[in-house]
Every structure is written in structure tokens, then in C-alpha cells.
Amino acid sequence: MSENSATVTVALSSDNQPNRSYDIAIAAHSLKNLGAKLVEIGLGKKSKKILIVSNPVIYKHYGETVHNSLTNASFDVAHLILPAGERFKTANSLQKIYDAALEHRLERSSAIVALGGGVIGDMSGYAAATWLRGIDLVQVPTTLLAMVDSAIGGKTGINHPQGKNLIGAFYQPRLVWIDPEVLKTLPAREFRSAMAEVIKYGVIWDRELFDLLAKCDRLDQLRYISDELLQTILYRCAKAKAEVVSKDEKEGNLRAILNYGHTVGHAIESVTNYRLYNHGEAVGLGMLIAGAIAVDLGLWSAEDQAQQVALIAKTRLPQTLPADIDQEAIVESLSTDKKVEAGKVRFILPTAIGHVTLSDRVTGDLVKQNLRQILT
């Protein structure tokens, strides 16, 4: 990894598709080079049509740069602007992508470029997976959370009114193109939110990353993160996820560990209608609860939990829930989690910093007991 750029390869193959590997390219000031890179990897040989899907704020900042980069590479470019926010990750928004794909006459050799955060990436990815039974997808994440997590690994989908990400498909992109410079326009709350996912990688996979973060005084704003540290964070998170996905693409077992903190986190998001907490805030709360449950079950030490609590505190993420939150609804929401097997919710629980395990020993009462510990 150089100081200013790095590439991580997600190594994938199958019997009928021997090489589906793709690169995660991390380089500052690289948005203007996207079009040339797509030509280099073979997009546009048959169809030059590309649909950019974005949201209003992101497109205002970066849409022209990406659009010009693609047109300069001789692509025929259209764009669609969708509202920002998790509550818009719906079938209605998906239909708008399909309508735009039809209007622009996207073909099987055309592509969708997802320019935005996790919501845009998830919806665009599912649209690409299902339009004409699958067209090329390029992820251009513009939030830290999308850069370290959602844009990598091929999970795509939309929310059902009764649960998050219940409708979707595994569909890998042709490329993930990360320009850290775009984070300079990221709101502070979104940056803090993403740090929950960064810490997650430290807990589940990368003790060295955890220790590196623990040396920082504050992790709640980009201005406290040096360019060198940011590059290291992006690289190590991408490397961790690529390693996990390469070993278990479709969450047969190992990949489930990437959902650390998400089981209760998704339930909190759903019960609060995606309005009180954003994704990373909910995941941070879910990690605190998962860690406390692991202590109760004797899986990891109170000392390790204290280190996790201290690190999350450096992000200034919420560490409490409102006293009137519906605990029963949270527990009930767990039953719709994608990790339910044979009627039991599989929790990802830490055993040591850098290591986790899957457990079906977590009862609803144990969840409520630890929810009550963080009520205010």
C-alpha cells in the first residue's frame, strides 16, 4: 500500500464463472479517472450506456465530475436522482431505477454506477442484479460507511416495511472506486456513524486496527484523522471484508461475522422507523449490547468489553436508548432477522478482540436485560 493509493482484490470464482474477482481501488482525487478505468476493465465494449444513480446532495457535489469522466471515455450517460435516507430504500425507489433503465434503454452489456452512500449502493446493486437478469454494476461510495462496508461484497437490496434488507440478492460489482477526498463534504454525524463499522472490523477480525484506533484521542470527526490514518483505515477495512467475502461469498457461515452489532442494531432501526438513529449509530448500540451479552455468557472478558466501550465512546456515538423505547418490539423484530435458523436467532458475539463466534444461546430475556442497562 502506498501513502496515496491502494488496491485490494476481492478474489471470487465459481465453476460456471471462473473469474468474478474485482478490485477495490482507493486513491485520492480519482473520481475524474473513473471513465478511463471502466474502459480498462472492459466496460463499454458492446454497450456504451451507463445510468448514474445518486442523491441530490452527492450529485450536486460530484455528479458533474463523474458524468464528465464517463462522457470523456465515450460512454452514453444518463442519471437518476433519488431522495437520501434509509426510509427511501423501498420498492418505490427501486421502481424509479427500473423506469430510468427502461427510458435510457439499458442493455445487458450496459452498466449502473452507484454514486452515493449505502442506500444508493444497495438499491442500485439490486436494480443491476435484476434488470434484464443482471447488468454491470460499479460502486462509487461517497460515505465512509459505504467505503468500508456496504459497497464491498455484493450485498444488495431494499427494506420491507417489517424489516431491514429482507429483499435482496448477492450481486458483485465489477469495480469499487474509492476517492477519500469526497469525505471532506461528509456531515459529521455520518462520519461518526461509519466509525462504528470501522471498529467492528477491529473487534471481529483485525486486532492491529483496533489497537491503532485505541491510540487516537478522538474519532468523531474527519479533522481528527490524518490522511495517513484514513488511508490505513480504508485499506485495512477493505482488506478484512475482501478476505471474509472471498472465503464465504454468500454468508454460508463465516461471512455472518460481518453482522456483528447488526442483529440488535437493525431491530433498533426498524422499531424507531429509521428516523431516530442512522445505521452506524444503531450498529454501535448493537455492538455494546452484543458485548455485554458475551460477558454474561462468559464468552469474553469484562476488560475487553470495557475496551470496546471506551473505543466507541471516542466516536461520540450514542451509548444509551430512550427509556420509552419498546423493548418487546425490539425482541420481536429479531425474529425477522436474516440470520434466524430453525427459529433461533444467531448472534455474533465477541470472544476476544479480533475474534467472534456465532451463538444461538441468546434469549429474548437476555436481550431485554442488557437493553435495560442502557436506557435513560
Write the pLDDT tens digit of every residue in 315-370: 999 999 999 999 999 999 988 776 676 667 889 999 999 999 999 999 999 999 99
Distance CA 374, CA 337 (A): 22
**Residue for cell digits 472490523?**
201
Mean per-residue pLDDT for 44-70? Answer: 97
Mind listing the pLDDT tens digit for each residue in 127-164? 999 999 999 999 999 999 999 999 999 999 999 988 88
Where does residue 166 rank: exposed (0-12), middle (13-18), buried (19+ CB within 10 A)? middle
**Known binding site for NAD(+): residues?**
118-122, 142-143, 155, 164
How sure is the predictor about 37, in pLDDT bands with cuts at 50, 70 and 90?
very high
Mean per-residue pLDDT for 212-236? Answer: 96
**Residue for cell digits 454468508?**
251
**Known binding site for Zn(2+): residues?**
197, 262, 279
pTM over cut 0.85: yes
Candidates 165, 259, 278, 370; catalytic one = 259
Phi and psi (nearest 5°) for 99? -60, -40
Amino acid identity for residue 80 in this structure: L
Candidates 266, 314, 338, 346; catalytic one = 266
Q: Tell me the HSE value of 323 on the side-chain side, using a 13 A CA sphere.
A: 1
Of 1-15, 134-148, 228-242, 345-359, the range with the lowest mean pLDDT is 1-15
Domains and CATH numbers, the chain: 5-184 (3.40.50.1970), 188-373 (1.20.1090.10)
Q: What does the pLDDT read at residue 342?
A: 64
Distance CA 68, CA 73 (A): 8
DSSP E strands, 109-268: 111-116, 136-141, 155-160, 163-170, 175-178
* 262 classed as catalytic: yes
Q: What does the pLDDT read at residue 47?
A: 94
> What 3-state class would DSSP assign to 73?
coil
Candidates 236, 255, 339, 346; catalytic one = 255
Distance CA 104, CA 297 (A): 55
* 67 classed as catalytic: no
Query: What is the DSSP annotation of 145-191?
Result: HIIIIITSS-EEEEEETTEEEEEEEE---SEEEE-GGGGGGS-HHHH
Candidates 67, 79, 96, 155; catalytic one = 155
Q: Tell me the HSE value of 241 on the side-chain side, using a 13 A CA sphere.
A: 28
* 281 classed as catalytic: no
Q: What does the pLDDT read at residue 285?
A: 97
Candidates 48, 192, 241, 338; catalytic one = 241
* 255 classed as catalytic: yes
* 241 classed as catalytic: yes
**Known binding site: residues?**
118-122, 142-143, 155, 164, 197, 262, 279
Mind listing the pLDDT tens digit for each residue in 165-181? 889 999 999 999 999 99
Of 118-127, 226-235, 243-252, the range with the lowest mean pLDDT is 243-252
Candidates 133, 184, 215, 303; catalytic one = 133
Asked whether residue 1 carries a pLDDT value surpassing 70, the answer given is no
Mind listing the pLDDT tens digit for each residue in 272-310? 988 899 999 999 999 999 999 999 999 999 999 999 999
* 104 classed as catalytic: no
Sign of the CA dihedral with 285 first, then 350, 195, and 315 last: positive
* 133 classed as catalytic: yes
Q: What is the mean pLDDT of the chain?
A: 94
User: Taking a C-beta distance cutoff of 8 angstroms, is the pair 223, 183 a contact?
Assistant: no
Mind listing the pLDDT tens digit for each residue in 178-223? 999 999 999 999 999 999 999 999 999 999 999 999 999 999 999 9
Mind listing the pLDDT tens digit for each residue in 63-93? 999 999 999 999 999 999 999 888 899 999 9
Q: What does the pLDDT read at residue 365?
A: 93
Candidates 86, 190, 249, 251; catalytic one = 251
How sure is the predictor about 18, in pLDDT bands with cuts at 50, 70 and 90?
low
Query: What is the DSSP annotation of 307-375?
Result: HHHHHHHTTT----B-TTS-HHHHHHHHTT-TTEETTEE-EEEEEETTEEEEES---HHHHHHHHHTTB
- Letter string b/e over residues 176-211, b meaning 16 or more CB atoms within 10 A of that residue's CB: bbbbbebbeebeeebbbbbbbbbbbbbbbbbeebbe
